């Protein structure tokens, strides 16, 4: 199911649809693909939300007919549920699936249990570990644990014979949803006789490049890291040979969503020591520096439970200070801003004292502002200061390449819209409320 947004207020419709879990495939085209097959219902909900904001919504007759159709699952295993309750169960399963797909829920292991799949994982924000039962629209959270270690011990006790690392292979339903999100794509750019020469820019403003190619180069150069599990075509897991440092790369995300999650553990089954995330639009030079440090730096040089001292903050940000970045404090937050104002770093002293590490202690960004960044990198309080200093050095002195804006505009002009959009949200003629 696709939606096309146009008009002076198209950005409002785009943001509204993305908030409703539509996936942007071009600057004005989005796709809704769910594992519970409830796209018409949620398309109606999205259309009503947009209309409430004064945005004119056009719906094709085929989709209107699908919205009005009543149906139910054959041989549904919860016969006591009515249609509304079935939809609630399916939507909860959809949220779990999306959390896994977007890298918010890290699956440690899975197993076969009778005729279904069970799994154990941990939410990276908040640290809650969960026991999952079922697949597709029937997946549920059947139990919770205080830590990954407790969750894995209990899971191994119950499913040790069939337990396998990482998430289960993608189901047919999940594969169909993934294919639907990629079927509406940009038309390839026509080859040109000569492309503009890339310009040299600060690392924080460089092109994103090919993140998958960077990961492949990293694996080729470092044999002590292995791609130990690939969950569908969307998520790649990479683990160090001692199993205490792990990388998760989520492929099918938008520019501002988390595409990289790196975490370190004291032992293969212990609680996490620190975690770092990066969005999909993180420039190639920044990401390359991060991967190089993982292979050669003091990645394990951290003391779990020790406070973050002023000396730690000073050492981690010294390259920014030396490069003349502006420094100011706002309450418990200390911020460094590049001379041009196009990039920044922030240390949250309050978050750094949180024993549960729910909020990021460090945030690095580039773009108009921290509230509206082009890309973001976050790190928890025990992230090694050597790694942070390396990133700061890259921000302060690193460079990269970027195609001139004219070339970028030309590529965007060649993007092909969907041939038959199912929903067309046209805010050109806003309705009064």
Do 68 and 101 share a structural domain? no
Which of 145, 176, 207 is the last residue in one of the domains? 176
Do 131 and 223 share a structural domain? no
Do 337 and 301 share a structural domain? yes
pTM of the full structure: 0.53
Convert 356-386 to b/e letters by CB count within 10 Å (16 or more is b). Answer: ebeebbbbbbbbeebeebbbbbbbbbbbbbb
Which of 144, 176, 208 is the last residue in one of the domains? 176
Do 156 and 14 share a structural domain? no
Output the pLDDT for position 273: 86
Residue 146 counted as domain residue: yes
Residue 186 counted as domain residue: no
Residue 412 counted as domain residue: no
HEC assignment per residue over the chain: CEEEECCCCHHHHHHHHHHCCCEECCCCEEECCCCCCCHHHHHHHHHHHHHHCCCCEEECHHHHHHHHCCCCCCCCCCCCCCHHHHHHHHHHHHHHHHHHHCCCEEEEEEEEECCEEEEEEEECCCCCEEEEECCHHHCEEEEEECCHHHHHHHHHHHHCCCCEECCCCCCHHHHHHHHHHHHCCCCCCCCCCCCCCCEEEEHHHCCCCCHHHHHHHHHHHCCCEEEEEEECCCEEEEEECCCCEEEEEECCCCCCCEEEEEEEECCCCCCEEEEEEEECCCCHHHHHHHHHHHHHCCCCCCCCCCCCCHHHHHHHHHHHHHCCCEEEEECCEEEEECCCCCEEEEEEHHHHCCCCCCCCCEEEEECCCCCCCCEEEEECCCCCHHHHHHHHHHHHHCEEEECCHHHHHHHHHCCCCCCCCCEEECCCCCCCC
Residue 125 counted as domain residue: yes
**Which residues in the chain show pLDDT less than 50?**
186-193, 231, 303-305, 406-433
Residue 380 counted as domain residue: yes
Output the pLDDT for position 230: 54
CA distance 430 to 360: 40
Do 211 and 108 share a structural domain? no
Do 272 and 162 share a structural domain? no
Do 218 and 142 share a structural domain? no
Q: Give how many domains the chain has, as a whole number.
A: 3
Do 244 and 208 share a structural domain? yes
Do 296 and 219 share a structural domain? yes
Residue 184 counted as domain residue: no
Output the pLDDT for position 70: 77
Do 47 and 168 share a structural domain? no
Residue 433 counted as domain residue: no
CA distance 286 to 391: 7
Residue 190 counted as domain residue: no
Do 343 and 266 share a structural domain? yes
Output the pLDDT for position 111: 93
Do 398 and 293 share a structural domain? yes
Quick count: other Cβ atoms within 10 Å of Cβ 85? 11
Q: Which domain holds residue 222?
A: 199-405
């Amino acid at each position: 199911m696709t939606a096309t947004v146009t008009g002076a207020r198209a950005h409002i419709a785009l943001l509204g649809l993305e908030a409703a879990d539509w996936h942007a495939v071009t600057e004005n085209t989005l796709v809704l693909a769910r594992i519970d097959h409830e796209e018409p219902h949620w398309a109606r909900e999205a259309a009503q939300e947009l209309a409430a904001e004064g945005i004119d919504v056009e719906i094709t007759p085929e989709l209107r007919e699908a919205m009005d159709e009543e149906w139910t699952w054959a041989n549904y295993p919860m016969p006591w549920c009515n249609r509304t309750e079935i939809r609630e169960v399916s939507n909860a399963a959809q949220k779990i699936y999306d959390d896994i797909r977007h890298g918010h829920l890290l699956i440690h292991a899975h197993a076969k249990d009778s005729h279904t799949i069970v799994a154990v994982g941990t939410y990276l924000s908040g640290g809650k570990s969960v026991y999952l039962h079922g697949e597709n629209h029937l997946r549920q959270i059947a139990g919770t644990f205080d830590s990954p270690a407790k969750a894995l011990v209990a899971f191994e006790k119950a499913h040790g014979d069939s337990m396998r690392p990482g998430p289960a292979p993608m189901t047919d339903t999940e594969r169909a949803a993934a294919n639907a999100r990629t079927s509406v794509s940009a038309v390839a750019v026509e080859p040109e006789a000569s492309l503009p020469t890339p310009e040299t820019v600060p690392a924080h403003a460089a092109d994103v490049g090919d993140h998958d190619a960077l990961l492949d180069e990293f694996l080729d150069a470092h044999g002590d890291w292995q791609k130990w599990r690939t969950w569908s075509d969307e998520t790649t897991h990479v683990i160090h040979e001692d199993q205490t440092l792990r990388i998760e790369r989520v492929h099918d995300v938008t520019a501002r969503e988390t595409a990289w999650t790196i975490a370190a553990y004291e032992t293969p089954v212990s609680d996490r020591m620190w975690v770092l995330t990066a969005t999909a639009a993180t420039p190639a030079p920044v990401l390359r520096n991060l991967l190089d440090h993982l292979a050669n730096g003091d990645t394990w040089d951290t003391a779990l439970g020790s406070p973050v001292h002023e000396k730690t903050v000073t050492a981690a940000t010294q390259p920014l200070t030396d490069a003349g970045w502006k420094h100011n404090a706002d309450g418990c937050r200390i911020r460094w801003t590049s001379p041009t104002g196009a990039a920044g770093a922030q240390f949250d002293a309050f978050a750094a004292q949180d024993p549960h590490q729910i909020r990021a202690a460090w945030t690095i960004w580039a773009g108009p502002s921290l509230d509206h960044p082009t890309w973001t990198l976050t790190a928890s309080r025990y992230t090694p200061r050597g790694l942070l200093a390396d990133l700061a050095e890259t921000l302060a002195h690193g460079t990269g390449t970027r195609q001139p804006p004219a070339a970028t505009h030309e590529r965007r002009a060649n993007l092909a819209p969907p041939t038959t959009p199912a929903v067309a949200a046209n805010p050109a003629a806003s309705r009064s409320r």
